Structure 1
């Protein structure tokens, strides 16, 4: 359900949720999400998926392909903006 992703992204952006906790909770939500999303919504969800999947908390283990804390928050903000745009486009 989209609202779960929105809640997690919002909590990360506001600082209520630490990046590692976001990653854990996001991956758990994604693992159990059986919803089928249209192409546009799927593309927006992929913003969070790739950031969560590549997040590496330890700077000593992080390489150029990994996402750091800042990148994770930027991805969450981008997701929220694009999600809002989709929702407005649907007349919600």
Structure 2
């Protein structure tokens, strides 16, 4: 599986409801932080922008502040990243 394919698979699993937001959040942050392979600038930009949004995601509404993203925002961000990667 190529570098991009593993990200696309994870994003697709989240968008289709196979995995919940909290599981996507943990898996994506870990995957991106541990990435050691070379990524083209376009791919890196798409993945990094998603990383920033995933990091800003807060699933607990009682803890969410104005700068945090809710699940609707997270889904939109994942869809945008998928669009750029495919």
TM-score relative to the length of structure 2: 0.89
Structure with greater Cα Rg? 1
**Equivalent residue number for residue 12 of structure 2:** 10
Moved over 4 A (4+): none
User: Which structure 2 residues correspond to residues 3-82 of structure 1 after superposition, within 5 A?
Assistant: 3-82=5-84
- Give 1:67 deviation, angstroms: 1.1
> 1 CA distance for matches of 2:66 and 2:48?
19
- Give 1:31 deviation, angstroms: 2.2
TM-score relative to the length of structure 1: 0.84
Q: Which structure 1 segments of 5+ residues have no match?
A: 85-92
| Count of matched residue positions in the alignment of Structure 1 and Structure 2 | 84
> 2 CA distance for matches of 1:11 and 1:59?
23
**Equivalent residue number for residue 87 of structure 1:** none
> 1 CA distance for matches of 2:6 and 2:23?
14
Q: Which structure 2 segments of 5+ residues have no match?
A: none
- Give 1:34 deviation, angstroms: 0.3
Aligned CA RMSD, in angstroms, stands at 1.1
